Amino acid sequence: MILTVTLNTALDLTYRVPALVPHTSHRVTQVIERPGGKGLNVARVLAALGHETVATGFAGGSTGEILRAQLAPGAVVDALVPTAGTTRRTVAIVDSTTGDTTQLNERGPVITPAEWSALTDRCTELLADAEAVALCGSLPPGIHVGAYAELIRLARSAGVPVLLDTSGEPLRRGIAARPDIVKPNADELAQLTGSREPHRATRDARRRGAHAVVSSLGPDGILAATPDGLWRATPPAAVKGNPTGAGDSAVAGLLSGLVEKLPWPDRLTRAVALSAATVLSPVAGEFERPTYEELLPRVTVTEQAEAA
């Protein structure tokens, strides 16, 4: 079983409009509603890849009820912890003419100390049966910035490999707790290390405590500093579409590869192919298996010189 933790779950709404024009009214041509938050996105992709997946985190209020109702029929096991606050919503507005997406993210409910304690207890129980765990996304109000570091220590005590995907101070604190993998994007990596040179920044982030650092470079693929070397994986060509959830699909690729004990080049190939397939999908945050399977053999992985 693979466990995902989403402390700031969301109900994702995607509105598609013919063209997004500021200061005007718009006729929405399509509405899609689904459970969201980075860890739930990761869980959905892992389940589609055939892995038994359990999702925990917080859900509350009427929005949380809708989220859980939509999660229940799927392949992801619901182990969410109730909260008195109302789960946030995110709204993605897709311009059908350009393919561009405008994202609006609510802040999330305030989590009480008692609710946080219930979450750590739930994680301790679930880690006993987990092969790996992903800690994903932002922290809702009320949770201390060292929350992910605390959960990483729980996972390490249970002997469970852990992947961390967050940003800012939670990433800085978390990486010092020595997770097995961290997956920042280029901006998050620059904020952490102070460098925008990808090779230098990725290696520097690894020196801060992570076993491996996989940096997302957007349409240019990913760069990974691992115990087996420095690797670059790129898609066959720049793909245009909706990038919502592409990074989460990459996380699912990395985590599934870890559990399956794939070598790093194969993990990175899967991560890039899933990410590109997600960008190309007509539904935000989803991927179509034929597209993924067509992209998989066309991803290029090269070993990078350490002095690059």
Helix 186-193 vs helix 198-207: crossing angle, to nearest 10: 60
248 labelled catalytic: yes
User: Residues 12, 220, 248, 266: which is the catalytic one?
Assistant: 248
Active site residues: 248
